[in-house]
Amino acid sequence: MSEGKVAAGGGRLLTFAAWSVLVLGLWLWGRQITGVPAPLAGQAGGTVGPGLPAARAPLAAALPQRLDVPSIGIQAPVVSRDLDADGAIEAPPYDSPGTVGWWGKGVQPGAAGAALMVGHVDTKSKPAVFYGLSSAQPGDKVRVMRADGSVAEFTIEDVRVYERAGFDPHKAYGQRVKGRAELRLVTCGGSYDKAAKEYTANVVVSAYLTGTGVRQGTAA
């Protein structure tokens, strides 16, 4: 299955091997875009799907602090993650299953480019932060609370499932429209292979910046 919905299953363990495949794809994507000129700030636009709002110009860079996806009940702190000793992006700690990891060496959400956020789908005993990610729908809102007091509001344009066989990280994670502020939310998905103890695919939610606001309790 190259695209579509994934039915999440309770109690399935996201193994180290499965996570390694996911973060390896992110690492390969990062290596592929090294040296590519950054898109020009302010060049928002491009074709969007029917009924979806127009993109707005990117914001100034600011660190992400919290991720909210109201339609699927996600409200989670965001922590910066680096590369581990094997050159892969560090997963959020298993003892913090409600935490989202942001690739700290990459784009800051709201700025021009494709920002990457990753999270576990489950643990040994319970769902994790991105358990319901595959249930998101085009048009749903994703809000990133940022360290400068602003809120970057993204609109989901699609939810795709990429099989690990023949996986193309640039297609999955790369920026789609030059100059646009984009966001990728990534977790493991597809079917769970009990023999191999790993998932067979990655779920990738793609969104783009459509609005901005100020956090409650923050002076404008």
Strands 113-118 and 100-103: antiparallel
3-class DSSP string for the chain: CCCCCCCCCCCCCCCHHHHHHHHHHHHHHHHHHCCCCCCCCCCCCCCCCCCCCCCCCCCCCCCEEEEEEHHHCEEEEEEEECECCCCCECCCCCCCCCCEEEECCCCCECECEEEEEECCCECCCCECCCCCHHHCCCCCEEEEEECCCEEEEEEEEEEEEEECCCCCHHHHHCCCCCCCEEEEEEEEEEEEECCCCEEEEEEEEEEEEEEEEECCCCCC
Q: Which two tokens stand for residue 46?
A: 């491009």
pLDDT at 201: 79
Task: Note the pLDDT of residue 59.
Answer: 98
| CA angle, residues 155, 204, 101, in degrees to nearest 5 | 90
**77-87: b or e for each residue (b if 16 or more CB lie within 10 Å)?**
ebbebebeeee
Q: What is the pLDDT of residue 36?
A: 28
> pTM score, two decimals?
0.78
Q: What is the CATH number of domain 16-34+46-214?
A: 2.40.260.10
* pLDDT one-digit tens code per residue, 32-86: 333 223 333 333 445 677 899 999 999 999 999 999 999 999 999 999 998 777 6
Q: How far is CA 149 from CA 66, 201, 216, in A?
A: 11, 36, 9
Note the pLDDT of residue 94: 79
pLDDT recorded at residue 104: 94
Mean pLDDT by groups of 10 residues along the chain of 220 residues: 35 41 46 32 54 97 98 97 73 87 95 94 86 95 98 97 81 91 89 67 94 76
Structure-token pair, residue 64: 């992400």
Tokens of 28: 């390969």
The pLDDT value recorded for residue 136 is 97
